[in-house]
Amino acid sequence: MTTSTSRTTVEKPWVVVGLGFLALALAFSGRGALSLVMPAWQAEFGWSRTFIASLAAACLIVMAVVAPFAGNMVDRRGPRTLLATGLLLVATGMGMVALAHPGATSWLLPVGFCLVAGVGFGFIAQHVVAAAIALLFDRRRGLATGIGTAGSTAGQLLMMPLLALLLQDYGWRSGFVAMAALALLLIPIVLGMLGPQRGHVDSFRDEPAKPQSAVQRVSTLVRNPVFHALFWSYLLCGFTTSGVIETHLMPYAAFCGFPPLPSATAYGVLSALNLVGMIGAGWLADKVHRPRLLAGIYLARAGCFILLSYVAGSYPTLILFAILFGLFDYSSVPVTAGLVADRLGLRVMGLAMGLLSAGHAIGGALGAFAGGKLFDLLGGYEPVWYGSVGLALIAALLVIPLAESRPRGDGKHSQPEPA
């Protein structure tokens, strides 16, 4: 059975792209809300910045644990169940956070955000959407992946300023209630527009290869040097994006003296350019040497961190950073997904991207914790920014030696390369 006949009539490729975009928009806005409300939580609960940054780190660790399982599930069953379940968990977690108050119910906040919503964030993840899209597109795979995964930043373009306004006028809990309601509203849309899907593995049923267990497929991947280059560079990518920027950019802006709304506006600008960067990188990934493109993204990111250290009280400099970093923030996602599909194979697309995303989340957890800890110890973020410069340079060095290897034909039957 070929790919085209394994899809039901409702599983149109661009429907998956659109729903993936919307689900990621909501999930990533929920994650980014922690950065916006960090000062409010410090004031209300009396928690240190290190402790609140540890909540972000714990959430990312939960996502890291969930990521390979979610990737393997999307290989086997497609994205429908994962996205719907993830939205329900995000809604529940956001509701628990909104109900938390200092004292007896304060535990609802870390449990709701880190554990319940954290599992939901792991289900509604870039690698799940990227893997679901990869098999549905024989051509323009990079562009489609860039558009679908761009929801992770596009939602924040609208949501973060809106959350800042709610924080300013009605208190931080109102924003979490709004996100919970939106997640619940999106569930029936996902269930209604995505029919049961057999997933990637079943779509290769016409091939003679023997079915492999998840353990066998993981074993094949970890023996592959291409996988290691992508994994460790993606871990460093997580440190410099999910870790230090998503968690600490707005607290850094507040530290520089900017109020919540201008800070959120700068973050919105970054998210808008993220949208451009991801779609542009996806388009380029279909046309140019992908390892060099990925290395160039990491090098440009390193330069942006140097600029960030000079923001001080200059709002135009903060906006300039947001514009430049936005172009290279998540633009690594569609390029990495293209390299996985090409060099590791579509059979293991979800699992491989899940393992890479686990590394990305671990790097993000380290970055989130390091940012808060160094701030409390040293009273500033400069060591974090300069450390991120070095890590971005290492990520570029890891991927630049990779060879480009375009799949033959339409790429449907890509196999993992031998170790």
Enumerate domains of the chain plus CATH numbers. 8-202+212-399 (1.20.1250.20)
Q: Does residue 224 register a pLDDT over 50?
A: yes
The vertex-341 CA angle with 340 and 344, nearest 5°, equals: 60
List the one residue out of 60, 194, 47 whose CA is nearest residue 119.
Answer: 60
pTM exceeds 0.95, yes or no: no
What confidence tens digit (pLDDT) does each residue in 120-159 have?
998 998 888 888 887 777 677 778 888 888 877 777 777 7
106's CB contacts (< 8 A; 6+ apart) are: 45, 100
Is there a contact between 96 and 112 (Cβ–Cβ < 8 Å)?
yes
Widest CA span of the chain, in angstroms? 63
For 165, what's the count of Cα atoms within 13 Å in the CB-facing half-sphere? 8
Which of 47-61, 99-113, 141-155, 237-251 has the lowest average pLDDT?
Answer: 141-155
Is there a contact between 299 and 398 (Cβ–Cβ < 8 Å)?
no
Cα dihedral sign for 103, 105, 109, 115?
Answer: positive
Q: Tokens for 26?
A: 């909501």
How far is the first Cα of the chain from the last one, in angstroms, to the nearest whole number? 29
Length of the chain: 419
For 255, what's the count of Cα atoms within 13 Å in the CB-facing half-sphere? 18
Gyration radius (Cα) of the chain, Å: 20
List the one residue out of 6, 54, 90, 101 whose CA is nearest residue 243.
Answer: 54
Which of 73-77, 115-119, 122-126, 234-238 has the lowest average pLDDT?
Answer: 73-77
Q: Tokens for 136?
A: 């549905």
The vertex-84 CA angle with 176 and 197, nearest 5°, equals: 160
Q: Which residue has the higher pLDDT, 18 or 161?
A: 18
Q: Residue 96: is it exposed, middle or buried by C-beta count within 10 angstroms (0-12/13-18/19+)? A: buried
Q: Does residue 418 register a pLDDT over 50?
A: no
pLDDT tier at 391, thresholds 50, 70, 90: very high
Residue-level pLDDT at 57: 80
Q: Tokens for 384?
A: 């974090």
